[in-house]
Amino acid sequence: MSKLPQVIPSSEQLLSEGLSKAQAIRKTGSRPNTSRAFNSDIHYFWRWASISHQVIEGTLPIPGKIIECFVGDHLYGLNESVITALKELGFKPKLGRHKISTIKRRLSSLSKLHKANGYSHKHIYSPQILQTLRASAEASFASEVVAQKKPAITAEIYQAMIDVCDDSLSGVQNKALLSVGLWSGGRRRSELCQMQVEHLSLHKEAEAPFFSYTLMLPHTKSHYAIDGVPTLPIKGIAATHLKNWLSAANIEDGHIFRTIDPRSNKIRQKISGENIRRIIKNLSIASGFPDLKLSPHSLRSGFITCCAHAGIPIERGMAMSLHKTVSAYLSYSREGDALQNPAAELSRSLKIKLK
């Protein structure tokens, strides 16, 4: 029989260590965007509560009437004096009624705050608050409009945008950014910003000179670390434009997409989400689509729309876009999809006669 260690930590020490490990796992498994949203929601609530009701920050549990007032204020519209005070503190409160989805997210954050500190969170979702939210949604009292997804960068628009890119360093990068962003699954701007050469693997195909890449995507909104790092293919025109960019910019490590000094033409730090937004906007104007209000998210809706037009099975498209639910994936289908749906031709295919 093996011997037990001579010194065994106390039960209290083991309990403390175990709880610390569990907390570390929870932190590691939390998406950065989720943590930022939680911190932002709580910070905003305390500022609102202190201005509107002189509530001292950190006072828990928060009275149910304060929570109900928070919901009512933001569904109906904040008092102008409260808005002014929030602006003086550096916030940019929305004028008028807030979206129900935003209010629900903030209630969820308040619920998590109570649970994390050992308090009951049932009053966060009291019958009165739930009834208020339901009534607001049913009556469209909060002007809750279904979120308008950004218009899609379709194949036609993509080609027009590529055609206006010149052979300068900026033009070569823009072609790579558009192509990888669209054809590797409709990548988010945050994912494009974080892509690194170390995550790429080059693969030569049997028929020279064709080649492709695989890209590991450790920084993505839809996957936890525990899910494993997704690997995506970059092929065809996207692979060609990507290779041209890396070669032209002499990038061998670090971030793939960078800012470029317009005067010196020197490559600097990694590209930002705002840089990508400006690139998409400028290319949409230059290519003749100024009224579409295209944005980086148009790459995501564009990929899914193109998949629908090409008859790509939903599960194949989801494997590239990394959506976890069919409903979320289909919500990105855009204008023209209804007429492209083969199910609309059912009566014709069954040869139903017109009388």
Quick one: 325 and 218 in the same domain? yes
Are the beta carbons of 295 and 278 closer than 8 angstroms?
A: no
Q: Look at the alpha carbons of 268, 182, 161, 245 in this order and tell me if their dihedral is positive or negative.
A: positive
DSSP letter string, 277-332:
HHHHHHHHHHTT-GGG---THHHHHHHHHHHHHHT--HHHHHHHH--SSHHHHHTT
* pLDDT tens by residue, the chain, 355 residues: 455 455 566 667 777 777 776 665 555 555 556 777 888 899 999 999 998 899 898 989 999 999 999 998 888 888 888 888 888 887 766 666 778 888 999 999 999 999 989 999 999 999 999 888 888 776 554 344 444 567 899 999 999 999 999 999 999 999 999 999 999 999 999 999 999 999 999 988 766 567 899 999 887 766 655 456 789 999 999 999 999 999 999 999 999 999 998 888 889 889 999 999 999 999 999 999 988 889 999 999 999 999 988 888 999 999 999 988 888 888 776 544 555 666 656 666 666 665 5
The amino acid sitting at 148 is: Q
- Is 98 inside any structural domain? yes
Render 37-69 in DSSP notation, one character per residue. HHHHHHHHHHHHHHHHH-PPTT-SSPPHHHHHH
Tell me the per-residue pLDDT of 39-49, one tens digit each, with 9 for 90 and over: 889 999 999 99
Q: How many helices (H) and strands (E) would you count in the chain?
A: 16, 5
Distance of CA 181 to the CA centre of its chain: 14
130 and 252 in a single domain? The answer is: no
Nearest to 302 by CA among 157, 173, 191: 157
Q: Same domain, yes or no, for 194 and 315? A: yes
pTM over 0.85: no
Domain that holds residue 98: 31-139
CA distance 258 to 30: 28
Same-domain pairing of 169 and 93: no
Q: Give CA–CA dist 287/101, Å, rounded.
A: 35
pLDDT digits (tens, 9 = 90+) for 247-284: 999 999 999 999 998 888 889 889 999 999 999 999 99
Distances, alpha carbon 173 to alpha carbons 147, 185, 209, 260, in Å: 31, 18, 22, 9
| Listed residues 107, 139, 171: the one ending a domain | 139
Domain count, the chain: 2
What CATH number is given to the structural domain containing 204? 1.10.443.10
End-to-end CA distance of the chain: 91
- Both 248 and 133 in a single domain? no
Task: Tell me if 319 is assigned to some domain.
Answer: yes
Question: Do residue 113 and residue 186 come from a single domain?
Answer: no
Question: 141: helix, coil or strand?
Answer: coil
Report which of 148, 21, 136 is spatially closest to residue 77, judged by C-alpha positions. 136
Give a yes or no: residue 217 inside a domain. Answer: yes
> What CATH number is given to the structural domain containing 120?
1.10.150.130
Residues 92 and 166 in one domain: no
CB 270 within 8 A of CB 257: yes
